[in-house]
């Protein structure tokens, strides 16, 4: 997804919960919906953690359960690792996965 399209989607009203924001809009290119990910370094300090969150997001959005034909931008809204010196632990990763799944199902 091009940065201009991501910027355009970020101007729309997102579906949100405490951890995530999900921006959805009808796909301009009707063949395949696109996915954009915004995991800020300010919120997830370690590259390993940002990459894990991106993989987790891609996995959920591209799953058949999502089944949307809309362009989507997933944005992290809450800093991770507050109690673990900035590191993403398994418990927190599972919580973030559950919260994103709730948001994805609510958006459909």
Domains of the chain plus CATH, in order, are 3-107 (3.30.230.10)
Residue 108 pLDDT > 80, yes or no? no
Interval 51-71 mean pLDDT? 85
DSSP output for 89-100: -HHHHHHHHHHH
pLDDT in tens, 39-49: 999 999 999 99
Angle at 107 between CA 21 and CA 31, to 5 degrees: 95
The pTM of this model reads 0.85
């Amino acid at each position: 997804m091009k940065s201009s399209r991501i910027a355009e989607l970020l101007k729309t009203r997102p579906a949100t919960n405490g951890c995530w924001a999900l921006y959805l809009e009808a796909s301009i290119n009707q063949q395949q919906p696109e996915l954009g990910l915004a995991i800020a370094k300010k919120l997830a300090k370690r590259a390993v953690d940002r990459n894990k969150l991106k993989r987790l997001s891609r996995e959920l959005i591209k799953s058949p359960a999502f089944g949307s034909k809309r362009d989507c931008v997933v944005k992290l809204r809450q800093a991770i690792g507050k109690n673990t010196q900035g590191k993403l632990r398994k418990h927190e990763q599972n919580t973030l996965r559950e919260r994103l799944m709730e948001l994805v199902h609510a958006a459909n």
